[in-house]
Structure 1
Amino acid sequence: MGAISVLNIVLRLAVWFLLTADFSLPNIIIGIAIAFLLPGNRKSSSTLKDWLRILWEIILAIPQAYLEAIEIIFRPHNDEDFIRKRVKPERSLGLVFLDIFLITFTPKTIVTKYDEEGWYEIHRVKRKVSNK
């Protein structure tokens, strides 16, 4: 079992515990069983470098999320739009999940659609630019 497989199992367990919020022994056993029984993604290969990069981006997003929340409180964002962002090539499903988590983690953006052709549709709020 490689490092990437271990990261995929850890991600599955983390999602399981976030969904159930139960750390009892039976729930831990069920979570481990589900993490191992879910089919893997064989079509794309991710590297440890990709995983470390996205985890670092998530760490950096934490202070950004706080700053955006404070900015929205004191300077309301009255405008919104949708943008499309290209998914990085050959992303595993675990990395796509983490990409979506990263985009949605900050208060100004949320992924509304993941296109199987390789695009994220992102809704974002922004300050209205005044034309004086």
Structure 2
Amino acid sequence: MDAIPYLNIILRLTIWFLLTADLSVANIIIGISIAFLLPRHFASPEPLREWMRVLWEIIIAIPQAYLEAIQIMLRPHDEEEIVRERVKPKRTPGLIFLDIFLITFTPKTIVLKYEEQGWYKVHRVRRKISDQ
């Protein structure tokens, strides 16, 4: 059997536990119920390799997020820009969600909007490059 449905359930449960911050038995039962009752999108399933690649990128983003937070605290980041980033081709809604999560997870970037034409509108902060 394919592992993708299990990954979708795990993703839904993870989001539920992050939102509720409660690991009581009642909350676990509610979370499992919601994970199974939410409608599923029956598009072509993502290859397991794509899921693993995105999950690896999220693991790599954790130390990057701490580093960016320290950089923001130590040096001012007073320039802002809004850029458009292309969505990777053939992304399913689950992978698009993980891409948005990955971009927004780090302190210097946040996705403002997902455009159906295949773009993310991303807000970034950066250090001002001084003229020397």
Same fold (TM over 0.5): yes
Structure 1: distance between partners of 2:9 and 2:105: 22
Q: Deviations over 1:59-96 (max 9, x none)?
A: 11111111111111221111000011111122222211
> Partner residue of 1:25?
25
Structure 1: gaps spanning 5 or more residues: none
Bigger CA drift: 92-101 or 78-87? 92-101
Q: Following TM superposition, by how much is the alpha carbon of 1:130 offset from its aligned partner in structure 2, in angstroms?
A: 2.3
> Partner residue of 2:97?
97
Q: Following TM superposition, by how much is the alpha carbon of 1:50 offset from its aligned partner in structure 2, in angstroms?
A: 0.5
> Partner residue of 1:109?
109
Could you tell me whether the CA contact under 8 Å between 2:84 and 2:119 is conserved in 1?
yes
Structure 2: distance between partners of 1:117 and 1:38: 26
- Tell me the TM-score normalised to structure 2 length: 0.92
Structure 2: distance between partners of 1:44 and 1:116: 18
Total equivalences in the alignment: 132
Could you tell me whether the CA contact under 8 Å between 1:44 and 1:91 is conserved in 2?
no
Identity, % of aligned pairs? 67
Could you tell me whether the CA contact under 8 Å between 2:4 and 2:45 is conserved in 1?
no
Structure 1 consecutive aligned stretches of length 4 or more whose deviation exceeds 6 Å: none
Where do residues 1-132 of structure 1 align in structure 2 (5 Å cutoff)? Answer: 2-132=2-132
Structure 2: distance between partners of 1:23 and 1:69: 28
Q: Following TM superposition, by how much is the alpha carbon of 1:2 offset from its aligned partner in structure 2, in angstroms?
A: 2.1
Structure 2: distance between partners of 1:66 and 1:9: 28
* Letter in structure 2 aligned against 1:107: P
Structure 2: distance between partners of 1:128 and 1:46: 40
Could you tell me whether the CA contact under 8 Å between 1:45 and 1:90 is conserved in 2?
no
Could you tell me whether the CA contact under 8 Å between 2:109 and 2:125 is conserved in 1?
yes
Structure 1: distance between partners of 2:93 and 2:113: 15
